[in-house]
Structures are given as structure tokens and as C-alpha cells.
A = this chain, B = another copy of it.
Amino acid sequence: MSPTHTAGTIELVEPRSGYEGSCRAHGNDGRAIGDILARIGDKWSLLVIATLHEGRLRFGELQGHIPGISQRMLTLTVRQLERDGIVTRTVFPEVPPRVEYELTELGETLFVPARAIADWAVAHHDEIERARTAYDAR
């Protein structure tokens, strides 16, 4: 909305003098991070992105590859991602209608760190599991 900022580096957390200082200073940049984090961190976005990384898919296929997602949530998720420039939505003027989704360049760049998180989760999930059992038995 406000193109009035001059870019500049934004630290997630300042060395030790105030996250608030760096993020809140120019108004919306601090929120932008949480904003984007909220998007990619939501229940389905990462799964959609990971699935689409394998190649373009139509709506139904996409849903088939993501067990448990409702039609409604898939629609909403994919619309958000489209709005953010992370996926493209292509409608083919046929009947019955066909719509295909694909990652954009931006989406592909996001896949890299997203994948890193997923890999971390996979690599450490039993370690976490043990930590939980230990904590619960305490």
C-alpha cells in the first residue's frame, strides 16, 4: 500500500537492541514477515507448494495428492497463493472445465527453504517424539 519505504535490510531479530526497532520502524515491514510466515505456515500451503513442485496439476489431481484437504480449503489456499504470485492458475475454455495450477518462478524459490523445513521435520521427528514422551512422563 505504501511504496514510501526505501527498502533496506530488515533483520528478523536485532542483535540485541530491539526487534521492534528494526521491524516496526518503517511501519509495515515487520508485519509483512509475520504475514508471509502466516501464509506459508498455514495448514495447507506448504503441502500445495510441495505437490506442485512435482509439476502442474489440475484441481482434482491436486486434491487427490493432498489427503485430508477439503475442496473449500484447497480453493482458498490456491487462491491465496495465486494472489501472492506463487502459483499460476490456467483455465482452459473447455467443457467440462479444466483448470491447471503450476508454481511460478517465485514459487520455486520458496520451495527451497520450505523443503529445508520439511526435511528438518523428517530428520528430527523421532527425536521430538522422544522429547515429548519424556516430557509427558515427567
Option from B20, B37, B119 in Cβ contact (under 8 Å) with A118: B37
Q: Across the interface, do A118 and B12 meet the contact criterion of CB distance under 8 Å?
A: yes
Shortest Cβ distance from residue A118 to the other chain B in the assembled complex, whole angstroms: 5
State the main secondary structure of chain A at its contact with B: helix
Of the four ranges (under 10, 10 to 19, 20 to 34, 35 or more), the interface on chain A belongs to 35 or more
Q: Tell me if A76 counts as interface (CB < 8 A to partner B).
A: no
Residues of A within 8 A of B (CB): 1, 7, 9-10, 12-13, 15-16, 18-20, 23-24, 29-30, 32-38, 40-43, 46-47, 50-51, 53-55, 65-67, 82-85, 106, 109-110, 112-122, 124-136
Question: Could you list 4 further interchain pairs (A-B, Cβ under 8 angstroms) beyond the known A16-B54, A35-B125, A37-B46?
Answer: A13-B47, A13-B51, A37-B117, A85-B134
